[in-house]
Amino acid sequence: MTISADRIYSLEGKGLKLTTAEDIAPYLEELRSFENLEEIRLNGNTIGAEAAKALADVLRTKTTLKASDEVKESVVAICDALSELPNLIELNLSDNAFGPLGAEAMSDFLKKHTGLQILKLNNNGLGIQGGTTIAQSLLECQAECEKLGKEPSLHTLICGRNRLENGSAPAFSKAFAALKTLREVRMPQNGIRPEGIIELVAGLSDNSKLAVLDLQDNTFTHTGSQALAGALSNWSLLETLNVGDCLLGPTGGRLVIEALKDSETLKIVNLQYNEIEHDGALALAESLRKLKALENIELNGNRFDAESNAVEMIKAALSENDLDDDILGSLSDMEELTDDEDDDEAEDEEEEEEEETSKPEKETTGPKTASDVLEDNLADLVTQMKEQLNV
């Protein structure tokens, strides 16, 4: 990768000893004013823990920074410095485009730093490879904790907008299942499809203390929704569920909604833009009666009328719990079914009705007598003869 010199900031080979935030301050001032930064070179210097933290704060603002060997070296330098801080509990490297190379660079730190509680890697361009590296590192950290006879410390993982896709889901699932300590997981906008969602939910099911789950803008469909619905009862402390823009679909949406009644601790629920229809809204009204701690629910962009009786029933359910219907978000962008979709649904309903009417009626007065059976057989025979004679 060739980068023009005017987009490179370099301290390469200067032999600087930057221990404190004050030591590195002049260089950070230069970095802050450096526009369109794509590459930073820090090799050949000594960067202490305090200086590394100050550097990390500035790097978070450099969204044009690109992944390269030099970026890998800078991440290594930062993590090496941070490894000297045994009491470090949070690492936030969000909005730095270091990609898979950056993930590889921080791998050793993540494997060994058993005290890390909060890891924020949002919008880092990790991709499948980088995501898998991070997940495997967390799994190895759990193994290290086991050797030391201690419970893993990590309870918060934020890893959105990284194109993790299905390919990284098995590795994250294994890490989640091994950790069992997660309380907050946010992985929105990662291009994860149903198969990957099933993997993630399976791993998260073992984290009984989960309080926040944000998988917004991934793709669930029926199968992913079914997996989520089945797992909700495992999270008795769940307070926030964000599955907006996840294409739950009519049947999948209803499955999730019906399962919400087992999540009585829920405070925030986002179900926006999921093709939930009228029957799903009716089911939601029933589930809401159990959600007495609810503070906000988002339903905009679904496929039922904002003026329908289902919405009135939802408001009534909120009122039963002494909750103001203001917690129901805007319904200004509800989606209407097209004429073709209306026709398809009508046809489906007609077919179901025909199937019902074609079924023989069940006797309610006890077993048939021999004469009843003979009469039925004769009637069937007459019908067959008429059909053969076209009568």
What are 262-284's pLDDT values in tens digits?
899 999 999 999 999 999 999 99
Q: Determine contact, residues 116/149, Cβ cutoff 8 Å.
A: no
Among 168-172, 181-185, 336-340, name the one with the lowest average pLDDT.
336-340
> Measured between alpha carbons, how far is 189 from 164 in angstroms, rounded to an integer?
9
Amino acid sitting at position 233: S
d(Cα 184, Cα 207) in Å, to the nearest integer?
10
Q: Which residues contact 266 (CB under 8 A, 6 or more apart)?
A: 238, 239, 240, 241, 260, 291, 293, 294
Asked if residues 31 and 9 have their Cβ atoms less than 8 Å apart, the reply is yes
Percent of the chain with pLDDT over 70: 83
Classify residue 43 as exposed, middle or buried by CB count within 10 Å of its CB (0-12, 13-18, 19+): middle
For the beta carbon of residue 204, count every other beta carbon within 10 angstroms.
23
Alpha carbon of 83 to those of 46, 56, 104, 108, 353: distances in Å?
14, 14, 15, 10, 67
The predicted pLDDT at position 370 comes to: 45
- How much is the average pLDDT of 246-261? 97
3-state secondary structure of 228: helix
Q: How far apart are CA 151 and CA 145, in angstroms?
A: 6
pLDDT value, residue 255: 98
Region of poorest pLDDT, from 147-151, 173-177, 285-289, 368-372: 368-372
Residue 60 has a pLDDT of 72
Q: What confidence tier does 380 reach under pLDDT thresholds 50, 70, 90?
A: low
- Of 52-56, 63-67, 257-261, 266-270, the one with minimum mean pLDDT is 63-67
- Check residues 168 and 367 and name the one with the higher pLDDT: 168
User: What was the pLDDT predicted at 97?
Assistant: 75
Region 255-263: mean pLDDT is 96
53, 28 Cβ separation under 8 angstroms? no
Of 121-135, 162-176, 325-339, the range with the lowest mean pLDDT is: 325-339
Residue 71 pLDDT: 62
Confidence of residue 338 (pLDDT cuts 50, 70, 90): low
Lowest mean pLDDT among 125-129, 196-200, 363-367: 363-367
- Residue 138: pLDDT band (50, 70, 90) is very high
Range picked from 18-22, 86-90, 178-182, 378-382 for highest mean pLDDT: 178-182
> Using 50, 70 and 90 to split pLDDT, how confident is the model at 349?
very low
Confidence of residue 192 (pLDDT cuts 50, 70, 90): very high
Instruction: Supply the pLDDT for residue 363.
Output: 41
* pLDDT tops 90 at residue 118: yes
For residues 94 and 230, which has the higher predicted lDDT (pLDDT)? Answer: 230
